Amino acid sequence: MRSQPRVLVVEDEPAIAELIAVNLRHNGFAPIWAVDGDSAQRELDAVLPDVILLDWMMPGESGLTLARRWRADARTKSIPILMLTARGDEADRVAGLDAGADDYITKPFSTKEMLARIRAVLRRRTPEQAGEALSVGDLVLDPATYRVSWQGQPLKLGPTEFKLLQYLMTHVERVHSRGQLLDRVWGDHVFIEERTVDVHVKRLRESLGIAGAMVETVRGAGYRLTAQPLATGRAPGQVA
pLDDT one-digit tens code per residue, 72-129: 888 888 888 998 887 666 666 677 777 778 888 887 788 888 888 888 888 766 544 4
Report the distance separating Cα 22 and Cα 17, nearest Å: 9
Tell me the fold of 134-232. Answer: Arc Repressor Mutant, subunit A (1.10.10)
Model confidence pLDDT, tens digit, residues 70-83: 988 888 888 889 98
Nearest CA to 218 out of 193, 199, 201, 196 is that of 201
The pLDDT > 90 percentage for the chain reads 36
Torsion of CA 127, 130, 132, 136, to 10 degrees: -40
Same fold, 6-125 and 134-232: no
Residue 56 contacts residue 11 (beta carbons within 8 Å): no
Residues for the chain: how many in total?
240
Nearest CA to 201 out of 180, 224, 179 is that of 224
Question: Residue 227 class from Cβ within 10 Å (0-12 exposed, 13-18 middle, 19+ buried)?
Answer: middle
Strand pairing report for 103-106 and 134-136: unpaired
Domain 6-125 sits in CATH at 3.40.50.2300
Query: Which range is least confidently modeled, 63-67, 123-127, 140-144, 205-209?
Result: 123-127
For the chain, what are the domain ranges?
Answer: 6-125, 134-232
User: Chain-centre distance of CA 213, in angstroms?
Assistant: 20
pTM of the model: 0.57
